[in-house]
Amino acid sequence: MTSKRSKLSRTLAAVAITACSLFSASSTVAAQAGAPAAWECGEWSFCIYSGAGGTGSRLEMRDGVYDLGGVGGGVLDNNVHSVKNISGDAWCLYDYMGYEGLLTRIQDSYTGPISASIGEKVTSVQAC
């Protein structure tokens, strides 16, 4: 009886660890998935990318992000090298979390690079 309980306990523990690993992996992938094609971005969205030319990790937004360090493992915090704005509004990139320290304003319909001097400072983003 004890060996059956022990085996069941080990099996349940393995299932729990696997479930936690899958949850963590899927959360990370969803938040920072690299686009299979450059410039992937949903309709009426503002997208930021870690790579040049709309490549690398991507975050698609319709609302602002108060602190990029708290999203997708923080891979885009101080690491924005290109943007695509098809939101219908201008978006602002900020140096500090909480939308402080305006770095630049991205006009609607802009798709392109962000200078390294700005992209390596971006910590929060919102429509402005």
The whole-number pLDDT of residue 1 equals 52
Q: What angle do CA 90, 91, 92 make, to 5 degrees?
A: 130
The whole-number pLDDT of residue 9 equals 40
The whole-number pLDDT of residue 93 equals 98
CATH superfamily of 33-127: Crystallins (2.60.20.10)
Boundaries of every domain in the chain: 1-32, 33-127
pLDDT mean for each 10 residues of the chain (128 residues): 44 35 28 62 96 96 96 95 98 98 98 96 97
Rounded Cα gap, residues 56 and 52, in angstroms? 8
The whole-number pLDDT of residue 37 equals 78
- Global pTM reads 0.71
Starting at the edge strand that comes first in sequence, how are the strands of the sheet with 82-85 ordered? 58-61, 46-49, 82-85, 111-113
Q: What single-letter amino acid sits at 61?
A: M
The whole-number pLDDT of residue 36 equals 53
Rounded Cα gap, residues 68 and 73, in angstroms? 9
